[in-house]
């Protein structure tokens, strides 16, 4: 073997390992999709490689019993409101904790970290009493959105990114007469695009898959998000379907498709920004 061919083996081995890892990661998604398209249930490993024809009957059965379009709209309103609140409040709070000097800043940040270790289920009953009985927001989108409108994880992510920005950029902007909001909008935000995308994706997954809180807030079918509608379908109707196994997998595909599509669309933007490019020297 020549030295050139010998040096290629580590690279080929690395690509082979990466390819095997990619197949291992993608197999559950493939199995979920294939299972949702089968007319007859097959829970064995051989079911991943069907020999018969595939059908959309499981999706038609869901669509006949669940208003998929209306549920998707409800999920979009709920998730979009949560993302908007998380980004706006997260950016403002993260910038204040990173760049403003005020008494009690360290204590406030410690409280932000402390909130992250409290499970949401522990706050479920107090939040329900506050939102439904205190504010009277039952059967409303605002009642679903309000408890998730600010996310301490997003605050932490934005704070860490803002801390990495060079102080010279902020000093130059303030010398030019820019106020704090102008500095935030014109200097800081363009440099923390990876943090924005990370916060959007992390926030999207939570409310999009959330079914317990919206179910508690409203029992009206025309206001329930997709996760609640599919949970009701799987628990009450899917067992009576022609292919219960395929019906459950079809519901999982419908719920997972937007999250996978969003990640695929934005995954190439998950790169580190050159945060020092605006500083001379």
CATH of residue 183: 1.10.3720.10
User: Are 50 and 162 spatial neighbours (Cβ–Cβ below 8 Å)?
Assistant: no
pLDDT at 276: 46
Is position 148 within any domain? yes
The string of pLDDT tens digits covering residues 108-134 is 888 888 888 888 888 888 899 999 888
* 37 pLDDT more than 90: no
Is position 233 within any domain? no
Which range marks the domain in which residue 141 is found?
74-207+264-269
pLDDT at 7: 60
Count of structural domains within the chain: 1
pLDDT at 141: 92
Is position 58 within any domain? no
Is position 59 within any domain? no
* 97 pLDDT more than 80: yes
Smallest CA-to-CA distance from 154 within 96, 200, 102, 214 is with 200
Whole-number average pLDDT of the chain: 81
Is position 201 within any domain? yes
> What is the phi/psi pair of residue 177, to 5°?
95, 10
Is position 170 within any domain? yes
> In 3-state terms, the chain is what percent helix, strand and coil (to 5)?
75, 0, 25
Q: Predicted confidence band at 195 (pLDDT cuts at 50, 70, 90)?
A: confident
Q: pLDDT above 70 covers what percent of the chain? A: 89
| pTM of the full structure | 0.78
pLDDT at 82: 92
pLDDT at 83: 92
Is position 23 within any domain? no
Q: Predicted confidence band at 281 (pLDDT cuts at 50, 70, 90)?
A: very low
Mean pLDDT of 50-68: 79
* 265 pLDDT more than 50: yes
Written as six digits, the tokens of 217 are 């807030």
pLDDT at 268: 66
Is position 125 within any domain? yes
Mean pLDDT of 23-31: 87
Q: Which residues, at least 6 apart from 83, have a Cβ–Cβ distance to it below 8 Å? A: 200, 203, 204, 207
Looking from the CA of 227 toward its CB, the CA atoms found within 13 Å total 20
Q: Predicted confidence band at 33 (pLDDT cuts at 50, 70, 90)?
A: confident
Place of tokens 């609140």: 85
Most confident of 1-15, 243-257, 267-281: 243-257
């Amino acid at each position: 073997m020549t030295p050139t061919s010998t040096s290629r083996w580590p690279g080929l081995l690395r690509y082979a390992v990466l390819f095997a890892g990619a197949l291992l990661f993608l197999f559950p998604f493939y199995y979920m999709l294939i299972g949702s398209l089968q007319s007859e249930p097959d829970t064995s490993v051989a079911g991943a490689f069907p020999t018969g024809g595939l059908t959309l009957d499981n999706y038609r059965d869901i669509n006949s019993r669940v208003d998929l379009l209306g549920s998707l709209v409800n999920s979009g309103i709920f998730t979009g409101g949560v993302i908007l609140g998380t980004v706006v409040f997260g950016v403002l709070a993260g910038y204040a904790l990173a760049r403003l000097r005020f008494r009690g800043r360290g204590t406030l940040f410690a409280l932000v970290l402390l909130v992250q270790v409290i499970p949401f289920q522990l706050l479920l009953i107090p939040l329900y009493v506050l939102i439904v009985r205190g504010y009277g927001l039952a059967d409303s989108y605002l009642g679903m959105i309000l408890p998730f409108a600010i996310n301490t994880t997003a605050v932490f992510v934005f704070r860490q990114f803002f801390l990495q920005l060079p102080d010279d950029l902020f000093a130059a902007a303030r010398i030019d007469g820019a106020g704090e909001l102008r500095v935030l909008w014109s200097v800081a935000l363009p440099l923390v695009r990876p943090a924005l995308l990370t916060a959007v994706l992390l926030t999207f997954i939570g409310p999009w898959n959330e079914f317990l809180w919206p179910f508690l807030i409203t029992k009206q079918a025309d206001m329930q998000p997709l996760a609640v509608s599919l949970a009701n379908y799987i628990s009450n109707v899917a067992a009576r379907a022609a292919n219960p196994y395929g019906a459950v997998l079809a519901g999982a595909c419908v719920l997972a498709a937007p999250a996978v599509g969003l990640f695929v669309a934005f995954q190439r933007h998950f790169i580190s920004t050159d945060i020092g490019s605006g500083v001379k020297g």
